[in-house]
Each structure stands twice: as C-alpha cells, then as structure tokens.
Amino acid sequence: MKIIVAGETKEFKEGLTIAELIELEEVETPQYVTVSLNDEFVESGAFNNTALSDGDNVEFLYFMGGGR
C-alpha cells in the first residue's frame, strides 16, 4: 500500500500501524512526536492499535517551547 509520509509517497505492507511506521521511519525522540493522520491528531496511546490504509497522509510533528 502507498502512504504519504511527510509529503513523500512510500510503499509499505498492509496493516502497518502508526507505531510500526514510527520505527521504520526512524523518528527521533518518538516519545515526543505528535502524529497527524489525514489532518487529524492521533493520541499517542493509540499508535499501536491504529492501522494505516492505502492513501493515508501521515505527518510527524514536534512542538517546541521557547521564546519569551
């Protein structure tokens, strides 16, 4: 199946979960990543149970603090 990851179309096995995708994509500091699936935020507790489908659009987001 094809999934769009950070704007790039990639091929993955059927039934891939968000947790597996995070591992395959070697996401840095996965404990701090926020995932958007088709423009909807996914709770981190659901990463292991959320299967991806052909054509899904996934973005990995990091929120940084700072400033004044």
Map out the domains of the chain with their CATH numbers: 2-61 (3.10.20.30)
Helix (H) or strand (E) holding 23: helix 18-24
DSSP E strands, 1-68: 2-5, 8-11, 34-37, 40-42, 57-61
CA neighbours within 13 Å on the CB side: how many for 49? 5
Nearest to 2 by CA among 44, 47, 53, 59: 53
pLDDT at position 58 is 98
Instruction: Tell me the pairing of strands 2-5 and 57-61.
Output: parallel
pLDDT in the model for residue 68:
66
Under-50 pLDDT residues of the chain:
none
Q: Using one digit for the tens of pLDDT, what is the confidence trace for 23-38?
A: 999 998 899 999 999 9
Q: What pLDDT was estimated at residue 37?
A: 98
